[in-house]
A and B are shown apart, each in its own frame.
Chain A
């Protein structure tokens, strides 16, 4: 059953809703930046942003009366925003991680070398 937001909580709902996405974006940004620059210290800021997101989701859940089965939504948001950057990072690594390591002069793995050879052969074939 739907329980509308109370008048006094209007601003809280708008603000918390915005903070969920902004903190989610910031978490993703810091997470990726930390990994690509190889600066683990930045990861603290990433998780700090996630803590803000966590609090914002709980505040939103409370002010918007996300009770009963609506709690599924709260859990989905907490997990979804936590895991999405990890998943996308893995995909980035899988699709073009070797290029990053080549450009930065980072030691290539055996798999990187295989990919590099495959890409070179493909480029030659396209020509």
Chain B
């Protein structure tokens, strides 16, 4: 590994990947703490309350995925553009500034936690907007660091070679950074505040992140399956059209109950129902490509995670999303464990999987293009078990939360009309409690999975590959 010369962008990418993995671990550990607090509400009470463990759990997820995306882009940048990263020094500086800022923000979350509830709190402790709680100074820092990242990407492509992937990626990064600013101004009107806040959350997750992942996927397919550039580029354009066509106004499903005009019910319902169509359409393309390529790859872990991405995206975003997205039913499910169930599978399926695939692509290169196909000395048991445990763990948590969410929407929302009585009746119901217990069990399975994943990433491809007799080569 260590003898391989990495280009400047790749060296920076490795730094981003390392922090991404650390934050992934933090996400899972704080998820376990939050899950435990459902089962034993006194656990860490007064020391680290549920609101903080959940905040760190979710923020760590958002940030590790961003680190994974940024790392992935730096990894492919020089190769894709045919030019060294322009302004790499600034890129490195931005990495350290961003990482220091993330560290300070997490330490403040953990040790300061709350403030007087005025502008000081908003600027220096916690902004209070769910998922993007980072205080205002950190918001500004994030935008500055993102601007440096954008400069690196755009200037490198400008001085090197433009391609379809380069164009889509660059435009997407403008949208990504621009949308973040929609969540950065303060208003005392909660409806207005939520209206803009959803621009960050929805339009990141269901539009710009999807397109960013599309770019990484396109590049990943060229690497793992040697798919021709012309093909992946055409598909990238189609994907962008389909995703933006349905995803932008799909934003309406978040506007159902925040005090926006009634027409959002129709717009949100209509476009949300169309959002899974691109996912269904992509099934055809996946079958077509796998039929043509015969799934041959010398990086099986990466390919397996790309396949997990296709399925996870389809089920997590498509099936789990559509089940409760129409306003006629969302009236009861909004904000219950239903949403958590959908969130767990969709974030893992659509984003975690593809970032892990990129880790394996990077690791293969770092280990001198080691053959990560079927000739691994340990038969690749570590990556296979990590893949299995992480997927079983997340799917298990998803189903457990689904059961709890079903009970919650039924008893708390529909039967007892969202009253306090209904809330407590739902929280102590055996279906809810057992769902939470099973969520904890599968959370532990997920934790074991990530332990194994890290072990595998540190060791895979280091040993010499096993040479098999010619007759078994094709297996």
Mark A residues whose CB is within 8 Å of B.
2-5, 7, 10, 13-14, 17-18, 20-22, 24-25, 27-29, 31-33, 36-37, 60, 64-66, 69-70, 72-73, 76-77, 80-81, 84-85, 87-89, 91-92, 95-96, 99-100, 103, 119, 122
Contact = CB atoms under 8 A, between A and B. Distances in A.
Nearest to A10: B410
B328 interface: yes
B276 A24 contact: yes
A17 B326 contact: yes
**Chain A interface helix/strand/loop/mixed:** helix
A2 B282 CA distance: 32
A4 B284 contact: no
Interface string B259-300: 000100110011001101101111111011101100000000
Contacts of B328: 2-5, 13, 64-66
B314 interface: yes
B284 A72 contact: no
A85 B292 contact: no
Interface of B: 228, 230-231, 234-235, 238, 262, 265-266, 269-270, 273-274, 276-277, 279-285, 287-289, 291-292, 314, 318-319, 322-329, 331-332, 406, 409-410, 414-415
B406 to A, nearest CB: 7
Contacts, number: 142
B284 A80 contact: no
Contacts of B262: 2
Contact of A36 (B283, B288, B329): B288
Nearest to A57: B273
B339 to A, nearest CB: 14
A91 B233 CA distance: 13
B266 A33 contact: no
A20 B332 contact: no
A13 to B, nearest CB: 5
B331 A4 contact: yes
Given A29-B283, A31-B284, A91-B238, 8 more contacts: A10-B406, A10-B410, A17-B323, A25-B279, A65-B328, A66-B328, A88-B238, A95-B231
